[in-house]
Structure 1
Amino acid sequence: MGGRPTWAEVDLGAIADNYGALGSLLGPGARLIPVVKADAYGHGAVEVARALAAAGASIFAVALVEEAAVLREAGTSGEILVLQGAWPGQEGEVVRRRLTLALGSAEAVARLERACTEAGSEIPVHLKIDTGMTRLGAPHDALGPALDALAAARRARLAGTFTHFACAEEEDRAFTLAQLRRFEAAVAAVRGRGLDPGELHLANSAGLLHHPELRRFSARPGIALYGYAPAPERAPLALRPALQLKTRIGRIVEAPAGASIGYNRRFVAQRTTRAATLGIGYADGYRRALAGHARAIVRGAWAPVLGAVSMDLIVVDVTDIPEAREGDEAVLLGTS
Structure 2
Amino acid sequence: MNSFVEVNVPNVIHNIQSVRKLSGDALFMAIVKSNAYGLGMVELSLQIQSFVDRFGVNSMDEAIQLIHSGITKPVHILSPYFDDRVREGIIPTIDNIADLHRYDSICENKRYEGRFHLKINTGMNRFGLEIEQLDDFIEALQRCDHITMEGVFSHFGSTYGNHRSFTKKQWDKFMFCKKRISMIYNQPMIFHIANSAACIDFPQSRLDMVRIGNAMYGFLSSKANIGLLPTFLVKTSVMSVRFVNKGEYVGYGCTFKAKQNMWIAVIAFGVYDGFGLTRTRKSFLREIYLRFFPRPKLLIQKQHIKTLGNPSMTYILADVTSINAKPGEEVILKVDSILSLKETIKRKYVIPT
**TM-score for both structures, normalised by structure 2:** 0.85
Moved more, 267-276 or 40-49: 267-276
Say if 2:55 and 2:76, in contact at 8 Å, map to a contact too: yes
Comparing both chains, which one has the higher relative contact order based on Cα–Cα distances under 8 Å and sequence gaps of 6 or more? Answer: 2
Q: Which runs of 5+ in 2 are unaligned?
A: 279-289, 336-353
SS of the counterpart of 1:147? helix
Counterparts in 2 of 1:310 and 1:132: CA distance versus 1, 3 Å: farther
CA–CA distance in structure 1, aligned partners of residues 10 and 307 of structure 2: 31
Q: Which amino acid aligns with 1:133?
A: M
Q: Does 1:93 align with 2:90?
A: no
Q: Which amino acid aligns with 2:33?
A: K
Superposition map of 1:40-79 within 5 A: 40-55=36-51, 57-79=52-74
RMSD: 2.2
Say if 2:196 and 2:212, in contact at 8 Å, map to a contact too: yes
Q: Which amino acid aligns with 2:47?
A: A
Q: Does 1:142 align with 2:133?
A: yes
Count of matched residue positions in the alignment of Structure 1 and Structure 2? 322
Say if 2:244 and 2:261, in contact at 8 Å, map to a contact too: yes
Sequence identity, in percent?
27
The Cα shift of 1:44 comes to 1.6
Superposition map of 1:1-336 within 5 A: 5-27=2-24, 29-55=25-51, 57-87=52-82, 90=83, 92-95=84-87, 98-168=89-159, 170-194=161-185, 198-231=189-222, 234-288=223-277, 293-321=295-323, 323-333=324-334
CA deviation vs aligned residue, 1:226-267 (integer Å, no higher than 9, x gap): 111223xx1240111111100001122222233222222222
Counterparts in 2 of 1:277 and 1:112: CA distance versus 1, 3 Å: same
CA–CA distance in structure 2, aligned partners of residues 11 and 169 of structure 1: 29
The Cα shift of 1:148 comes to 2.9
SS of the counterpart of 1:166? coil
Say if 1:158 and 1:197, in contact at 8 Å, map to a contact too: no
**TM-score for both structures, normalised by structure 1:** 0.89
Say if 1:295 and 1:316, in contact at 8 Å, map to a contact too: no
Say if 1:125 and 1:160, in contact at 8 Å, map to a contact too: yes
SS of the counterpart of 1:159? strand
The Cα shift of 1:139 comes to 2.0
The Cα shift of 1:122 comes to 1.5
Q: Which runs of 5+ in 1 are unaligned?
A: none
CA deviation vs aligned residue, 1:306-336 (integer Å, no higher than 9, x gap): 2212222111221222x211111000139xx
CA deviation vs aligned residue, 1:264-296 (integer Å, no higher than 9, x gap): 222222222322111112222223459975420
CA–CA distance in structure 2, aligned partners of residues 298 and 271 of structure 1: 21
CA–CA distance in structure 1, aligned partners of residues 33 and 53 of structure 2: 16
Aligned to 2:344: none
